[in-house]
Chain A
């Protein structure tokens, strides 16, 4: 194990949860390909999805490696990124519910991307300095990618919010749709004891103020209101998902499960 101080199972679970966030949102971004308002936006969302997929691959691979070094695992070998992406069931996925919600319209998609990428950028900026060198390296590479995701979402939220009456209305509705799920981003209760104290995991509770300040600025400039809606109970980190998750996994996993080992 690369960081002897960290508990292996906890570290694997941590990498897996961050990887699941990226993997599931990558799948949602991919759904826009051929469906976006313009060809150029198809490409932008595909790029963002592929960035996230790249992050998911490294995080899942790392989770599998760390997990495989814990005593009691079969053969002492970890599961591969494909095992983890395609052969787990819904309850074993620990992504936040925000990323699994169906895309909705373009405004809702941009609202989600703004909320998530603002969080993920703050997370990776901290994680670059993780005591775990692998996590630090993964975050260091991803930070520039996610800065662009946030920039893209910000651009659209500004344009749609401060555009026409119709675009404003739909942007506001998009925000209301994703807002009940943002609270879960800043829950740290699921992280294995010690990981935050050892400087391996990021204490997301400390990120909420900065996240909220950025969102407040963007929404104010976009002439949008912060939605006044109650938070959902969450539970994604414990494997509790919304009804959208099963459908997403069915589409993402069925080729691999129906044709094990299939290659291009």
Chain B
């Protein structure tokens, strides 16, 4: 139904592409999916912790705060639209990852570590 378009400055209730019932009334729709990344503390990288639904990015951030940092788990949150993530396909797993399996020389195990070098 093309007359149902997103409107308003906040565009919070997107109606473009919303499935509509008979009679043109917008039906309840699922909000888009967002992937959530949390950094536990300074110096660490963000780790994927899960996903959630939210109507837009600021609300996704708020929902992530409620769902994934309730117990002081983080100092920083990223939310990314799940649709924007390009993932490797499970079907291509063999071609993608197996060639690395027999290339032992890629592991740093072929030289002596000097005794003076610590934290390696």
Instruction: Spell out A's residues near B (CB within 8 Å).
Output: 37-40, 43-44, 47, 151-152, 155, 158-160, 162-164, 166-168, 221, 223
Contact = CB atoms under 8 A, between A and B. Distances in A.
A223 B66 contact: no
A70 B103 CA distance: 81
A162 B66 contact: no
Nearest to A50: B70
Contacts of B53: 38-40
Most chain-A CB neighbours within 10 Å: which of B10, B31, B55?
B10
Given A39-B53, A40-B67, A44-B63, A158 B7 contact: no
11 contacts: A40-B53, A40-B54, A47-B66, A47-B70, A159-B12, A162-B8, A163-B7, A164-B7, A164-B13, A164-B26, A168-B8
B66 A160 contact: no
Contacts of B63: 40, 43-44
Given A40-B53, A155-B59, A167 B13 contact: yes
Interface string B77-119: 0000000000000000000000000000000000000000000
Contacts of A44: 62-63, 66
- Which secondary structure dominates where chain A touches chain B? helix
Given A38-B31, A40-B52, A155-B59, A163 B8 contact: yes
B72 interface: no
B62 A152 contact: yes
A163 B10 contact: yes
Closest 3 CB pairs of A and B: A159-B12, A163-B13, A162-B8
Nearest to A168: B8
